[in-house]
Chain A
Amino acid sequence: MVPLHLSHFQLLLLFAVIISLAFGTLGRRDPLERLKYAAWSLAMFVLVAISLGWLMYPFSR
């Protein structure tokens, strides 16, 4: 298997997309509700991750 080399942000996005889709599918029944929930989860994953990254930035060095 070819080893994958992706940036931190690409990996964050991939993780967020996959988990959001799974959460949306498991958590809601209606297709529109699933889409809304998945989009909300994705936005929260990315937003919280970037916010935490910036919060930790002053202590990184």
Chain B
Amino acid sequence: MFDDAIVNKTANDPVSVANAEQAEPTAPIPDAHPQTGYSEKTGSYDLRAIAIAITGWILPGFGHALLKMWGRAVTIFLAVGFLVYLGAGLRGNLFAPGGDDAFARLGYAADLGTGSFYFIARSLEGSGPDVSHADGDYGTRFLATAGVLNLLAALHAYEAARRRKA
């Protein structure tokens, strides 16, 4: 939107048009996107975004903190942390690797989404899970939701790092 306004303003300005005609032609930059600054040759922009997403996954909110989105960073950290704390306090089932069925493997993938908080939840659950009551069942959902929420936040940080609308 703003780029279009600048182009139109320049096109209507006679001084700018004259200067543009006198200016020497510059060599085109084939591997650079003018709007995003992303370099296809190096792929550095993508690598940085991937690194930010991975750090955001390992430590919830850290990806946004690297992008200086402090409000989002703190909110994600607290939301995921509180969900993990509640899930462990309710003695939810924290799935382990090598599950027997697809549900257990999917649950493990969701739990692993909390990154380092997975191990914190494991250490908090000293007496193990108890899903014989509704509380434990709720806890299992809280833990899985924490993981999925953190994965969503990591994806959001990735998109923000790529300067897409986020």
Contact = CB atoms under 8 A, between A and B. Distances in A.
A21 B75 CA distance: 8
Interface string B133-166: 0110010011001000100110010000000000
Interface in B65-93: 71-72, 75-76, 79, 82-83, 86, 88-91
B62 to A, nearest CB: 15
A2 B89 contact: yes
Given A3-B90, A15-B145, A18-B83, A26 B72 contact: yes
Nearest to B155: A26
In this complex, the interface size class of chain B, counting residues with CB under 8 Å from chain A, is 20 to 34
A55 interface: no
A5 B135 CA distance: 7
B46 interface: no
Given A25-B76, A26-B152, A18 B82 contact: yes
Given A4-B86, A22-B149, 19 more contacts: A1-B88, A1-B125, A1-B126, A3-B90, A3-B91, A3-B127, A4-B89, A4-B90, A5-B135, A6-B90, A11-B90, A15-B142, A18-B79, A18-B83, A19-B145, A21-B79, A25-B72, A25-B76, A26-B75
